[in-house]
Structure 1
Amino acid sequence: MRTLEAQPLADRSPGFGRSLGYEWAAFRSLRSNWVLMGSAVVVQLLLTIVAHDGRDTGDITFDKVLSVAWLFTVLVAALGVNAFGTEYRHRTIVTTVLTARSRTHVLLAKAVVVTSAAIVTECAVLASSWLVLAGMFGAAPTVSTSLALGSGAIVYTALATLVGLGLAVLLHGSITPIAMLVVWPQIEMFLINRLDLPEWLLTVLHPFYSARQLINDSPEWPGALPLLGLAAVLLGASAIVLTRRDV
C-alpha cells in the first residue's frame, strides 16, 4: 500500500467532498446569486399583492400567483447558469477544472449546490407569498392547497435550474443559456397555440409546458418526466464535454 507521501499530486487532489465544499464557498461569494434569490422573493411578493382580490380566498390568490410565477422561474434557474457561466466569463474555469481530481466531481458538486439553493429559494418565495396573504390580507391558503401547489413549483424550479447548469457548460457562457431559459417556454406556448397536436406528443415535445402541470392543486407528477429527461441529457452531455474537451 502506498503512503500519502508517495502518492503523486493528482492522487491527493480533493475528491467529491472537497469539491462540494469548494463549490459551496464559491456560490456564497458570488454576489449575483444573492441578487437573483432576493429578486425572486421580491417579484413573488409583488405578484401576490397585485393578484389578490378582496373577494378571493387565499387558495384562489395563491393559485393565480403561481399560474404566472413560472415566468420568473428564470431568476432562480439562473443560479444553475451562474455556476459555470461566470467561471467561463472570468476564466476561473481553468483553475477549477484542471486542478480537480475528477471533472465529474466538479459537475456533480455544482449540481448539488445550485439545486439545493434553488429549492431553498423557492421555499422562501412560496413562504413569503403565503405570509403576505395570511398577514396582510387575512386570507391564508389552506395547508393542502399550499403543499400541492408549492411542491409542484419546487420541482419545476429545481429541474429548470439543472437545465440551466447543463446549458451553461455546453454553451460556455451565461447570456445565451439565460436567454434560452426565457425564450424556450415561450416558444413552447406559441407552438401549443398554433399546432393541433395530441396531448401525449405535447408532453414529449414541450418539457417545460408539461412540467408546469405540476403547479396545480392536483399535480400530474408524470408531467415532470420530459423536463427531468432533458436535464439528465444536458448534464450527461456536459459531463462528456468537461471530460473530453479543453476548457
Structure 2
Amino acid sequence: MNAASSTASPVTREAALRIALAARALPDVKVSAFVRSLGDRLGTPVTEAKLARMTVADIKAMLQGDEIVDPGVDASALKSAVRYLWGEGIDDGAPVPDVDAPAGEGLLRVAVASNSGEMLDGHFGSCSRFLIYLVSETGIFLSEVRSTRVTDDAEDRNVARAELIGDCHLAYMQSIGGPAAAKVVRAGIHPVKYPVGGAAREVLAQLQGTLQSPPPWLAKLLGRAPSSLQRYMPGAELDT
C-alpha cells in the first residue's frame, strides 16, 4: 500500500448526505457533475468544514458549467442547496410520525413540506416528505406521510411534486420559487409560503381558526359562500 492511498480520507456519510440533498434542491442537476465540481472547488477530500464555507455565490459559479445545470436556477433553490451543504434542514432521524386521521368527508386537506418530525421546515422543491393533514373546525389530523423520493427521477420534479399532493386543497412550505408555485396552482392547489416555519399543527391551528368564517379565497376552496355574503343568499338565516 502506498502512502497516498493510506492517508486518503473518504467522504464521510454526513458530507455525502449534505451533497446529495443539495443536488436534489437544484432542478435538473447531474449529481456526479455536482460532486466533481465541488471537489474541484474545495479540494479533496470534501469535508463538512469545507461544505460549511460554501455560499450562494460559490454555487452560482459552479453552475456555469454546461454539464451541471442551467445557470438561471431559482434563487430560493440556491439558498436551499447552500443550507443543505451547511448541514441545515437535514432529517434528524426522528421517526416518521404516526397518522391519526378519522374517517369522514368534508375536511380541508393540507400538505406541509417537511424534513423532520411534524415540522413545517421544508422548501417545496427539496423537502424530503409532505405531511398530509385533514383540518376541520373540530380537529387537525395527520392523514399520511408521503416521501418525495418517488419524484427524484421525474423529468420535471416540481410537476411531479405537485402531482404527489394533487388531492390537497392547500400546500404550506417555507419557500417556493415562482415557476414552481405556478405549477402548484395549475394542479389546483393553493400554495402558502410560511417562511418562519414551525410545528405543523401550531401553524395549521391558525388556519383552523378561520374555518367558521373563512375568507373568500378559502371559502371558494371549500365550496362555500363567504360568510359576509351569506345573508344575500337564498335560504340564508338572517341575524336577529
TM (norm. structure 2) is: 0.28
Q: Larger Rg: 1 or 2?
A: 2
TM-score under structure 1 length normalisation: 0.28
Higher RCO (C-alpha 8 Å, min separation 6): 1
Determine which structure has the larger helix proportion and give its number.
Answer: 1
